[in-house]
Chains A and B, each alone.
Chain A
Amino acid sequence: MSFDGKVLFCEHRPNNETKLGKVEKLKQAGTHPQVLVRADAVTKIYRSRMGESVEALAPTTLDIHEGEFLSLIGPSGCGKSTFLRILAGLETLSGGKLEWRDGAPTKGSDVGFVFQEPVLLPWLSILDNVRFPLDVFRTPKNEGNERARAMLALVGLGAFEKALPKELSGGMRQRAAIARALVYRPRIVLMDEPFGALDLLTRDRMNDELLRIKNETGSTIVFVTHSIEEAAYLSDRVAVMSARPGRISALHDLDLGPERSEAIKDDPRFYQWLSTLRKELR
């Protein structure tokens, strides 16, 4: 698939800083980021029972690059979850198309999805829950156990493989859900406000965990959130969305570098991004 490297949305810069984001750095180095999937004028129109049609998502065009962490942020009703669910194949398109670099997902192992709730199976142990997709794909049990255990170790639940979901805290359950989405190495991992139901402290810790997991797996992650700080802290790029009709109103390539840690929260550039994003969301 050819890619001309054009940036599809105007990139708002908070100031005249010369620091460059991941995409621009790649461009300067002469290598364009690999587009994993391109949403081309994707729309979603719901028809209400009264026969009215509601445009949940106006024609939206967006490239998702391989290996990036892309956040979709916006008020409720801006279509961010709708867009994510379209990518996941959970919603049909009303118009436009999705162009996948390696062909449209046909296998169950193509897409990983993390919901706001853990959606674990309460009668299965944590190990069995993480192995669940592999069982569905008929992976041999030994191999499945091995991979599930490795994934549990990665998300820091190695000691809890025999526990039932109800025996774990909300944060731990969500880690298990993330492990379940990553265990089959999907092409793309979609997360729909995965930490929205957690308390702030747990959420901060989960953000760090997620960055670490992403660095180790190199997964492509599209992350829906309504937390500005979460988006700025985690993302390579942030798509700001607005409502009625749902659309992407700005797309930013954050210049905060690939290595993130608590320290970045004291960086003035981080503050500038927070205030930029906050203004755009107003």
Chain B
Amino acid sequence: MIRTLLTLAGFILAWWGLVVLFDVPSYLVPSPWVLAEKFWFLTTQAALFSHVPVTLMEIVVGFVIGTFVGVASAVLFTRFPMVEVVLNPLIIFIQTAPKIAIAPLLLLWLGLGATPKIVLVAIVSFFPVLSNMLSALRSIDPNYGALAKILKMNALQRLWRIELPQAMPLLFAGMKVGVTLAVTAAVIGELMGARAGLGYLLSLGQETADVSLVLVAVLLLSLIGYLLYVALGAVEKRLLGWHESRSGALSNVEG
């Protein structure tokens, strides 16, 4: 944590130094001080923080939907291989299509509100979750299936008590990829057309040649992505303590 802060402080100092040293005009690259002033102005005068929750909501809701559908599809595919046979070509087609290209379509269909962004976020976070969850479910040692059969566990018990916990480590890896893609998707959606959100501020800044505004939006977006990633990591650490590869002190004890 301290190291992160030191790196950040060094970066800001270097940035400031370069701007001052080469006398860069603030309409090209504002100094950290100018940016901070802009941030303060936006917060107090222009309701900057009414835009943050809009984007955050799109990311979180879309990501949760995408993750849920991804997990459910993976479970469905492994239970009923026919479903995968039928749906797989379609899924690969959507997966290989550049998601940005879908954005205008979604906007045309769903309007300028939050819905098309949520859908776009859900689509991009769906794929890493699906593919990781599929390989997680498929790589479960068949002995666990035998154990379930011996104990005559039903499908729901198997899923809940054996398969889902077993798949958690790979699922989280997929979610971490998904969450960074989710931030990008929300911004793309907003850039294409929106009335609010950080992506909207980005395009506003671009149109009015306001570099400071663009930078403020970019920094806030990075912060959102970073915090979501860290939050996922914290949940992962709490849930998956058992999975850390380090083994305990008892390893060499034969009782």
Interface residues of A (CB under 8 A from B): 88-90, 106-109, 111-113, 115, 117, 119, 121-124, 132-133, 135-137, 156-157, 159-160, 163-164, 166-169, 171-172, 202, 205
Contact = CB atoms under 8 A, between A and B. Distances in A.
B151 A166 contact: no
B254 A171 contact: yes
21 contacts: A106-B152, A107-B152, A113-B146, A113-B150, A115-B143, A115-B146, A119-B144, A121-B162, A122-B243, A123-B243, A124-B242, A137-B151, A156-B255, A163-B248, A164-B248, A166-B242, A166-B247, A167-B248, A169-B255, A172-B253, A172-B255
Prevailing SS type, chain B contact patch: helix
A90 B242 contact: no
Given A89-B149, A121-B162, A171-B254, 10 more contacts: A108-B153, A113-B146, A117-B141, A135-B161, A136-B153, A163-B250, A166-B242, A168-B250, A169-B251, A172-B250
B161 A136 contact: yes
Nearest to A157: B255
Nearest to A168: B250
Nearest to B143: A119
Contact of A136 (B146, B151, B251, B252): B151
Contact of A108 (B150, B240, B255): B150
Nearest to B243: A122
A90 B149 contact: yes
B178 to A, nearest CB: 22
A202 B247 contact: no
A240 B152 CA distance: 31
A204 B240 CA distance: 35
B166 to A, nearest CB: 8
A169 B253 contact: yes
Nearest to B158: A136
Which 3 pairs, one residue from A and one from B, show the smallest C-beta to C-beta distance?
A167-B248, A108-B152, A108-B151
Nearest to A158: B255
Nearest to A177: B147
A121 B168 CA distance: 13
B157 interface: yes
Contacts of B255: 156-157, 159-160, 169, 171-172
B29 to A, nearest CB: 50
Nearest to A201: B254
A201 to B, nearest CB: 8
B10 interface: no
A224 to B, nearest CB: 14
Contacts of B248: 163-164, 166-167
Nearest to B145: A90
B242 A122 contact: yes
A168 B247 CA distance: 9
A105 to B, nearest CB: 9
Contact of A123 (B141, B147, B165, B252): B165
A212 to B, nearest CB: 14
Contacts of A109: 151
A222 B243 CA distance: 33
Contacts of B168: 123
A117 B143 contact: yes
B83 to A, nearest CB: 24
A167 B244 CA distance: 11
Given A108-B151, A136-B151, A163-B248, A169 B161 contact: no
Contacts of B166: 121
A10 B157 CA distance: 46
Contacts of B250: 160, 163, 167-169, 172
